[in-house]
Structure 1
C-alpha cells in the first residue's frame, strides 16, 4: 500500500497525502480528515525512513552506549527515551566499545540519517567525528568531554564532587586514602582523580593509592582485593562510580570481614538506586540525571535548528552521606 493508493481513495493529490502526515504542514482540516480516513481504510502507514530521504530529517536521535552494567546509564536511557518522545523524536540505540574508539559499530549510525548522535561516556574517534561533520550530524557527549571542538557536552561537576568527597573523608579523620579509577582514557575519571589528589595534597597528605577497576563490578572486586590486602591498607576508598563502590563494599565486608563505615570508609559517585539500599547504604556524590537529560534534549533541539550551535554544560550535584563512611569528627572549640 502506497501514498498514491491513499491519494486515489481520498480523491486528492499525492502531495496532499504527504502534507496530511507532516506535522505543521499546510493542509485544510477537511483534506486531512479525508486522507486519514482513506489511510485507515487501506491500512496505510507512512514510512518514516522513506520520508527522511525526502525531507533530509528523520526525527531519530542515535545513542551510543558502552557500559550497560552501570545503572546510571540505564536510568539515563530511560529518561532520554521519554524526553525525546515528548519532543516528537525517537531514540535508536547503538552499542559501542567501552575501552576503545567508538568503532566499528557506531559507523552504522550514519546510514539512518539521524538528526543527532548522543554518546553516553563513549569516545569519539577522529574518523567518526570527521564523518559526522561531513554528514552534518551534531554530536553530544553525555558525562564525558572531548578534545574535538566540533561537539557539545553535558557533564557533572566532577572536580567539585571529588573535592567534596575528599573534604568529607578528611573530616572523618582519614589519613590513608585510595582512589579506584575507571578507564584511563575517560575524561570523567581523569577529572575526579586529579581533583581528589589535589585536595589531599593541599591538606598535607600523600597522594592516594591508585587502583583501576575499569568502571566494572568484576574489575572493582579484583582492585579492592589488591588494595585491602596491602600491608599499608588504606582506611578510606573513593571509587569513581557506584558500580565499583558497591563491589568494594561486598569484598571488604563479606570477604575480608571489615566493618565498612568504621574500619574503612567507601564512597561512590552517581547515587544509583542501589546505593540507598540498607545492605549498602553507600555514601556517594549524586549526579542530577533528570536535569542532565533535560539539558541534553534542549541541546538536540537547538542543534537540529543550527548544527553549529555547540554548547557545553556543567551540572551541579551533591554529597549524599550514608553509613558507608565514618561520621564527621567534631572539632573541639
Structure 2
C-alpha cells in the first residue's frame, strides 16, 4: 500500500499525503496462484480471508523490533491478512502527526481495503498502545455512519491521553507526572494545552461491534487498570444509575441518609454486575465478558498474567482468543 493516498477534512484541515504500509497476506494465500504478489493476489486474499487492520504504538515504525513477528503470527495462526499502516510522519509516510491526522490515516487504510472488495464484516480493527486511541477514533467514526467492523481489539489501551499520562511510568518505573501532583493546577494547565487527547473512553460506547480489551497484568508502561476502567465504562449503562443528587457527594461530606442510599445502591449494582458479567480464570489470563444486547457485540476484558506492554500481542492464548471470539476461521470470512 506504499504510495496510497488519503484525502479527507478534519478540524478544517484538508490533508493529502502518501502513507507507507504493508499488506501481509494470509499464509495460505502464498501457496495459491498467481504466485506474484500483485493486485490480483491481494484482491483474492481479501476475498478469501478476514483482514486485521493494525495500528502500532507511538515508538518507531511498522518494521520495528517485534512487530513483523506479530503480523506473521496472525497471518499463520489465524490465516488472516494483516494491513499495517505507518502514521503520517512515521517511516516513509508523509506529513506531521496529529490526532485528527492519524484518524484520517486509519480511515485511509479501511477505505483501501473496502476499495479492493472487503466488506466491513471482513475487517478487524486492532490497535496497540497509542494505536488503541487511533482505532477507537476510527471505530466511532464508522459507527456514526452505521458501519460495523467484524470486531475492535484494543491491546494495552488507555482511557484518554491525559488520564494515561497521570499513570504513565517512563522506563517502567519512573512516574512521569507524579512530581507535579503536589501542584494540581499545573497538571490541569498542562492538560488544557495538550493538543491530542485520544479520548477512548468517550469513543467506545458508540461502537456496536464486538470489543476485546487485552492488557497484561505486568504491563509496566500503561497499567492494566486503564483497560479495566474502559470495561467498566462500557458496562455502566447496564447498571442502576447513580442519582444526580447523590453523585456530587460521593465520599465528600456525605450525610447519614446519603451514606445509607449509597450502601443500598452499591449492593444493587454489585448484584447487577454479577448477573451481567461472566468471569473465567483461564490458564494464562483472567477473562471478564458481558453481552450488551440490542444488536451490539459483546465486550471482553482479557488480562494475561504476563506479556508486558508489547509481547502480549504474541501470546498464543491471546491470538487464539481473538480468533475464536471474532470467528476468524481458516480460509473463510
The TM-score bracket by the shorter chain reads 0.3 to 0.5
TM-score (structure 2 length as normaliser): 0.34
